[in-house]
Amino acid sequence: MRLSELGEFGLIDLICRTIDNSKNLQYASWQKLLIGIGDDAAAWQTDDHIQLATTDTLVQNTHFNLDITPLEELGWKALAVNLSDIAAMGGIPKYALVSLALPGELKVDSISKFYNNMLHLAEQFEVAIVGGNIVAAPNIVINITVIGDSRGKAMLKRSTAFPGEQIAVTGYLGLPAAGLEMLKGKISLDLETSNILRQGYLKPMPKVAEGQILVEQGVKSAIDISDGLVIDLDHICEASKVNARIKMEQVPLHPIIKAVFPDPQQLALYGGEDYELLFTANKTIMHRAKQALNCPVTIIGEITEEKSPERVTAVDSKGNVIPYKKRGWEHFKDETSKA
Amino acid sequence: MRLSELGEFGLIDLICRTIDNSKNLQYASWQKLLIGIGDDAAAWQTDDHIQLATTDTLVQNTHFNLDITPLEELGWKALAVNLSDIAAMGGIPKYALVSLALPGELKVDSISKFYNNMLHLAEQFEVAIVGGNIVAAPNIVINITVIGDSRGKAMLKRSTAFPGEQIAVTGYLGLPAAGLEMLKGKISLDLETSNILRQGYLKPMPKVAEGQILVEQGVKSAIDISDGLVIDLDHICEASKVNARIKMEQVPLHPIIKAVFPDPQQLALYGGEDYELLFTANKTIMHRAKQALNCPVTIIGEITEEKSPERVTAVDSKGNVIPYKKRGWEHFKDETSKA
């Protein structure tokens, strides 16, 4: 079987099963592991704290295209997607390793600017860039690993959502996906609007402080929205063995995409790269979390018992079920990937 | 200026200078950092121990070619090069994150075997593979990050070699580079010899236990030989602001390459990918280290005062200086890279 037939998530399942045999050996690193493959970050116990680590890769012509997003401006985003994974665990990012595969014909100045762009974000979250490596390659590949600490013993996981809990999301959705549409030249807009869309796509702000507040308030389950709201909620449902029901009209569309794009719902549900936090909690904790967070929080639905293999159900304003589309970002499967 | 003109090491210098400005901000992650960019791994202080982290990348058609090295057999090596970096710090590897960029047409079975091959090595060193990520890409890129602990407070660094110290190397050199020559079809050999060469290239054994023994015996300065003996010794000299003088006839050539290859010295000095440890120490400590190590150790020269910009001098058996060739693995610079 080819990878294109199995797809990204099928491959991840296969890798997990392959590695599971090794877990049976029960040496110290496995014994101290709290969260392995399948959440936003790995977590393990050290003598005095819980360590988190996550890694993410941006590939030229898969995740970005230099015609649309110059290398100079990619540093921020490349780091942001990793900080967002730490945020989705409720953790504190500390150190980053940056690996670049680069073609020799690139301008040195662009690479310098790439680092400066990344450092602007690193400094905001007091992350130190402490290592990495540089290799020659025919196309650009950016791989960043971020290592951090949990806040105390609690973490946000994908596997801890329970039936009856409310589902909420920080901020507004759809802006980055709309920004990409615009940058691809599919829509032309006034300068101010196009700047906001461009920033939305290129400079996502990871919800690091927000993730830590969620942990403090007793929230247990979260994910960051990278693949798209529906597919990321599906990840929570799969890990927690539950279903989810969301009300389409409650999904917080970004005001700009509501005003400008013909189908803003599609962008908000399936666009991805929002890097907002999607989380679940019972009413009491949800109320507390909403009070504590310094950002918009919208309740968009609730977790239900596991009944259907189509784990996420969306209903329209009249309560009618909208046919489920498992879409969003998945690698290798041409029909679903954005490329 | 193009990257191909600046070269890998020039770019690393530039990145260090760019990041140095951020260090001035003096937030906690910087304050706790013990070793940043420019050694085999980064190291920082946590409340109760020193953490190490390293990352390395293998790129298709730069570091490997599927005609010569099938993906199935690359898992071991991809992890080994990272474990070797932890070994070069005298540390204990614990956790690995594995990021793969893969073309969709690859066979799923090959990827499965790639992981099994990697797990064989991981299990030997009790390393847990705890995360990573998978993305679609036109060519294969394997990025692995390994996180570990130091052994107590001591570490092996590149920057702590002193004039008068002896220079030593574990094991024998040149076998992996000879293996690559053979796999490229440049030489044909009997089955047994070719198997040894193939294993030498594809299954390097990182000197993890040996690195820890060096730390225990009081050795302070080491590097693993990945770029080639001369260039890696040059890295130590640069970081320690010293020169080095090696005796060519004392360099331990692997017996097989001595028997079979026309220019074994070239392979041992410049071939690279040996993943042996190159280290320096005064006579007393060197003697102790040699006694404690369960592997061949050869003294190949000594550290001298910093006098020449050509930091490594090699002399032949008559004491004549052999013209210095700064060669070995360097990315982007066509005249020096192996490709």
Written in H, E and C, the secondary structure of chain B is CEHHHHHHHHHHHHHHHHHHHHHCCCCHHHHCEEECECECCEEEECCCCEEEEEEEEEEECCCECCCCCCHHHHHHHHHHHHHHHHHCCCCEEEEEEEEEEECCCCEHHHHHHHHHHHHHHHHHCCCEEEEEEEEECCCCEEEEEEEEECECCECCECCCCCCCCEEEEECCECHHHHHHHHHCCCCCCCHHHHHHHHHHHHCCCCCHHHHHHHHHCCCCEEEECCCCHHHHHHHHHHHHCCEEEEEHHHCCECHHHHHHCCCHHHHHHHCCCCCCEEEEECHHHHHHHHHHCCCCEEEEEEEECCCCCCCEEEECCCCCEECCCCCCCCCCCCCCCCC
Interatomic CA distance for residues A58 and A64, integer angstroms: 7
Q: Higher confidence at residue A7 or residue A242?
A: A242
Dihedral angle of Cα A111, A113, A117, A122, to the nearest 10 degrees: 60
Chain B residues in contact with A42 by the CB 8 A cut-off are 95, 97, 130-131
End-to-end CA, chain B: 22
- pLDDT tens digit sequence for B132-163: 999 999 999 999 999 999 998 999 999 999 99
CB contact under 8 A, A108 and B63: no
Whether residue A16 has pLDDT greater than 80? yes
Q: At what angle do helices B74-87 and B108-124 cross, to 10 degrees?
A: 30
Quote the distance between the C-alpha of residue B258 and its chain's center.
22
Can you state the percent helix, strand and coil of chain A, rounding each to 5?
A: 35, 25, 35
pTM: 0.94
pLDDT value of residue B269: 92
Q: Which residues contact B147 (CB under 8 A, 6 or more apart)?
A: A51, A53, A147, B51, B52, B53, B93, B94, B95, B96, B97
Chain A residues in contact with B95 by the CB 8 A cut-off are 29, 33, 42, 44, 53
Q: How many CB atoms lie within 10 A of CB B247?
A: 16
ipTM over 0.90: yes
Please give, rounded to a whole number of angstroms, the shortest distance from the CA of A204 to a CA of chain B: 20
The confidence band for A335, taking pLDDT boundaries of 50, 70 and 90, is very low
Taking a C-beta distance cutoff of 8 angstroms, is the pair A243, A232 a contact?
no
- pLDDT tens digit sequence for A130-156: 999 999 999 999 999 999 999 989 999
Interface subset of B 237-276, CB within 8 angstroms of A: none
Which tokens belong to B207? 């000197």
End-to-end CA, chain A: 22
- pLDDT tens digit sequence for A45-96: 998 899 999 999 999 998 999 999 999 999 999 999 999 999 999 999 999 9
Q: Higher confidence at residue A185 or residue B28?
A: B28
For testing the chain A interface, which of B20, B121, B124, B141 should be mutated: the one with the most A CBs within 10 Å? B141
Taking a C-beta distance cutoff of 8 angstroms, is the pair B63, B339 a contact?
no
List the single residue in B122, B128, B133 with the smallest CB-CB distance to A33. B128
Which tokens belong to B191? 């089955």
Residue keyed to tokens 């300068």? A191
CB contact under 8 A, A54 and B97: yes
Interatomic CA distance for residues B101 and A141, integer angstroms: 8
Quote the distance between the C-alpha of residue A331 and its chain's center.
14
Mean pLDDT (whole number) for B185-199? 90
Mean pLDDT (whole number) for B251-270? 91
The confidence band for B336, taking pLDDT boundaries of 50, 70 and 90, is very low
Chain A residues in contact with B97 by the CB 8 A cut-off are 42, 53-55, 145
Whether residue A157 has pLDDT greater than 50? yes
Q: DSSP letter string over A209-260? A: HHHHHHHHTT--EEEE-SS-HHHHHHHHHHHHT-EEEEEGGGS-B-HHHHHH
Whether residue A176 has pLDDT greater than 50? yes
Alpha helix positions (H), A125-207:
175-183, 191-202
Whether residue A329 has pLDDT greater than 70? no
List the single residue in B3, B51, B337 with the smallest CB-CB distance to A106. B3
Mean pLDDT (whole number) for A311-322? 89
pLDDT value of residue A23: 87
Chain B residues in contact with A23 by the CB 8 A cut-off are 128
pLDDT value of residue B323: 73
Q: Which residues contact B266 (CB under 8 A, 6 or more apart)?
A: none
Domains of chain A: 47-149 (3.30.1330.10), 166-322 (3.90.650.10)
Chain A residues in contact with B81 by the CB 8 A cut-off are none
CB contact under 8 A, B14 and A111: yes
**Nearest-CA residue of chain A relative to B107?**
A2
CB contact under 8 A, A55 and B1: no
Q: How many CB atoms lie within 10 A of CB B196?
A: 17
pLDDT value of residue B331: 67
pLDDT value of residue A142: 96
The confidence band for A330, taking pLDDT boundaries of 50, 70 and 90, is low
Interface subset of B 4-63, CB within 8 angstroms of A: 4-6, 8, 11-12, 14-15, 18-19, 21-23, 25, 27-30, 33, 36-37, 41-42, 44, 46-49, 51, 53-57, 59, 61-63
Interatomic CA distance for residues B169 and B304, integer angstroms: 17
Please give, rounded to a whole number of angstroms, the shortest distance from the CA of B317 to a CA of chain A: 37
Which helix (H) or strand (E) segment holds residue A131: the answer is: strand A128-136
Mean pLDDT of chain B: 92
Please work out, in degrees rounded to the nearest 5, the angle formed at the alpha carbon of residue A90 by the alpha carbons of A86 and A94: 45
Chain A residues in contact with B57 by the CB 8 A cut-off are 99, 101, 133, 135, 141, 143
Taking a C-beta distance cutoff of 8 angstroms, is the pair A104, B3 a contact?
yes
- pLDDT tens digit sequence for A276-285: 999 999 999 9
Chain B residues in contact with A139 by the CB 8 A cut-off are 137-139
Taking a C-beta distance cutoff of 8 angstroms, is the pair B327, B270 a contact?
yes
Q: Which residues contact A195 (CB under 8 A, 6 or more apart)?
A: none
The one-letter code for the residue type at B25 is: L
CB contact under 8 A, B12 and A134: yes
Q: Which residues contact B314 (CB under 8 A, 6 or more apart)?
A: B230, B245, B246, B247, B248, B269, B321, B322, B324
| Residue B145 forms contact with A (CB below 8 Å) | yes
Which tokens belong to A194? 């196009």
Mean pLDDT (whole number) for B13-28? 90
Q: How many CB atoms lie within 10 A of CB A16?
A: 13
Of chain A, the percentage scoring pLDDT greater than 70 comes to 95
- pLDDT tens digit sequence for B228-239: 999 999 999 999
